[in-house]
Amino acid sequence: MKENDEQGPVVAYAGTPWHAALLKSMLEDAGIESFLKDENISVIAPWLAGAGGFGTTVVMVAQEDLETAEAIVEDFQENLLKPDEDFGD
């Protein structure tokens, strides 16, 4: 991410620390720089990072990468909802 980006980083996803870390890895594999916001406090005291403690880890990307990141996030979320066929669901 460029330090002098006037738009600054934007939210691409908010979820559990585990899901956010997986998504961050997927974004980086696609060449999109990202970082996790509130990663540590989400684990230690999630109720301090967000209301109810849900969706407390945020994946941030550069404004110029948001459109591409949103497509990856959409695929990621769709795959979270699919039953795992290996377990006979």
Q: Are 27 and 48 in contact (CB under 8 A)?
A: no
Q: 47-60: per-residue pLDDT in tens?
A: 566 665 566 789 99
Q: Is 88 contained in some domain?
A: no
pTM of the model as a whole: 0.74
Q: Is 4 contained in some domain?
A: no
Domain that holds residue 61: 9-80
Q: Is 67 contained in some domain?
A: yes
Q: Is 62 contained in some domain?
A: yes
CATH of the domain at 23: 3.30.70
Q: Is 23 contained in some domain?
A: yes
Q: Is 35 contained in some domain?
A: yes
Indicate the number of domains in the chain. Answer: 1
Q: Is 89 contained in some domain?
A: no
| DSSP string computed for 41-58 | HHHH-HHHHSGGG-S-EE
Q: Are 14 and 58 in contact (CB under 8 A)?
A: yes
Q: Is 87 contained in some domain?
A: no
Distance CA 71, CA 13 (A): 11
Q: 22-54: per-residue pLDDT in tens?
A: 999 999 999 999 999 877 666 666 656 666 556
Apex 58 CA angle, 57 and 63, nearest 5: 170
